[in-house]
Structure 1
């Protein structure tokens, strides 16, 4: 499995007090850049904890995994990197191309761009 093909990941951030925060996200990856959008799905606020955490500490991890009762099919990929928040829609096409749901209602942002600094992976295969 490749990172590009995965449909959902978990984004891990850390706040200014060192408290971890993990949320599921949709994403698109190209080379050493990953884009995540704050999209139109209902949220209690646009001032999301993940965004506040990135402003306080831009070091993040993204985890993609596959679980199966057949443990010979297990795998995971983790990328670590430096995140920045942008209003630029430069990578919006990556998300729209990957998720049909975004074709009718593209995310307005903001966007999280992660520059990958480290990759690690494991597979039982």
Structure 2
């Protein structure tokens, strides 16, 4: 099973459009949600946007505040299993205030808008921003 180098894992991660964010919740239970993201250097950013949610108090944000260690996973599935791969980013997350309250967050939101212009061009994320400093890139490919 060929492992991806850190550099190759980061490259594949950067090309992905969707990641799964894993956080640790109360009682050390895992919590997994899909997120769109932007990448700058070894920092992954995501934000709470306008998509419908049951509450504005999101479990992922509470989990990060309590346990900042997180993992992000991107992958590609193909019926031809010779094409399978995944890339993972392990890091430390922090919850930042919304863009209107923070210049750092505003910069990250601009990066998200640039990455997803069709989705965010007219309606940028207005909620808290999550900044993840990646400490380890890893991955695997079938062939």
Tell me the TM-score range normalised by the shorter chain. over 0.9
Return the match for 2:14 from 1, 4, 10. 4
| Partners of 2:95 and 2:46 in 1: CA distance | 10
The answer for unaligned runs of 5 or more in structure 2 is: 1-10, 98-104
Match of 2:42 in 1: 32
Return the match for 1:85 from 83, 86, 95. 95
Return the match for 2:72 from 62, 67, 78. 62
- Structure 1 residue runs of 4+, over 2 Å off? none
| Partners of 2:136 and 2:89 in 1: CA distance | 6
Shift of 1:81: 0.3
Whose RCO is larger (CA < 8 A, sep 6+)?
2
Match of 1:97 in 2: 114
> What are the Cα deviations for residues 14-34 of structure 1, in whole angstroms up to 9, with x where unaligned?
014211000001001111100
The answer for unaligned runs of 5 or more in structure 1 is: none
Shift of 1:2: 2.0
Count of residue pairs brought into register by the alignment: 125
| Partners of 1:16 and 1:117 in 2: CA distance | 24
> What are the Cα deviations for residues 42-98 of structure 1, in whole angstroms up to 9, with x where unaligned?
001110000010011000000000001011110100000000000222211211111
Match of 2:62 in 1: 52
RMSD over aligned Cα, in angstroms?
1.0
| Partners of 2:29 and 2:142 in 1: CA distance | 31
Shift of 1:3: 1.4
Task: Answer 1 or 2: which has greater helix percent.
Answer: 2
